Amino acid sequence: MKIKVIKIGGKLIENNDVLASLCDHLASLGEAFVLVHGGGVMGSHLAQKLGVEVKMHEGRRITDAATLEIAVMAYAGLANKRVVAALQARGVNACGLSGCDMAVVKSHRRPVKDIDWGFVGDVDEVNADVLALLLDNGAIPVVSPITFSPAGDLLNTNADSVASAVAKGLAQKYDVELVFTLDKAGVLLDVDDDESLIPTITPSLYAQLKAEEKIHSGMIPKIDNAYQTIEAGVSSVRITSPSNLMGGTVVVK
């Protein structure tokens, strides 16, 4: 059985028209999928409404106790249920979960080193059996990145990391493609030109493009992560826009 694990950002959930368009695409995929979503923008807006300061370090959120409560409300609550409702309206039998539901994603609190990230979790284990049970019975899991620790603490976990871990776990049972959505058409030779899309990246082409500095900066860790995921058993990783889930750039062995 082929499935996709699709990661979307929180920005897509906030805008009703964008969310509707995305869910139209998801409903027309014609294959099973797991959707993993973020919610950072929604969390930031909720924090502003509640008068809670959003603390960041190098673009990453520091999750203190107050921020954790907001993250749980925004990610596992409003964001998750908006996606589930939109999919249900299109005939997709979506089931909303957070990482702590049925122990879907276990994690540990990130150790304090130079920075205390607070209640931020790094993934330890995915309960692929639970996700498989849903998939095999026609349900579509919609997973928010609120995970939990062995001590029972709720933790805010990076949604990209959750999606990668879910894909690796399910790859032991299915033929899995991991899909990351961006605000670009995929991996581009020129970031300002969608026509410069690279449709397929192989290890040899990746090495060449890095050496020529045609792939650089933030895209390198994304593709490195893609190859780590493939080495763990995932068939391929697709990097694309949310409006073209079957297009974009495919990273393969």
Beta strands 2-8; 32-37: pairing state: parallel
**Residue 93 token pair:** 């039998």
- Tally of structural domains, the chain: 1
Decide if 214 is inside a domain. Answer: no
Predicted confidence at residue 47, as pLDDT, reads: 93
- Residue 129's Cβ-side half-sphere holds a number of Cα atoms within 13 Å equal to 3
pLDDT for the residue numbered 22: 95
CATH value at residue 26: 3.40.1160.10
Classify residue 246: in a domain, yes or no.
Answer: no
The model carries a pTM of: 0.94
The 10s digit of each residue's pLDDT in 118-131 is 999 999 999 999 99
> Is 39 among the domain residues?
yes
| pLDDT tens figures, 72-95 | 999 999 999 999 999 999 999 999
Q: Is residue 191 part of a domain?
A: no
User: Has residue 26 been placed in a domain?
Assistant: yes
| Full residue range of the structural domain in which residue 51 is found | 2-181
DSSP H helices in the chain? 11-14, 16-27, 40-50, 65-71, 80-88, 128-136, 159-170, 203-211, 219-231
128-183 per-position pLDDT tens digit: 999 999 999 999 999 999 999 999 999 999 999 999 999 999 999 999 999 999 98
Question: Residue 173 falls within a domain, yes or no?
Answer: yes
Residue 199, in any domain of the structure: no
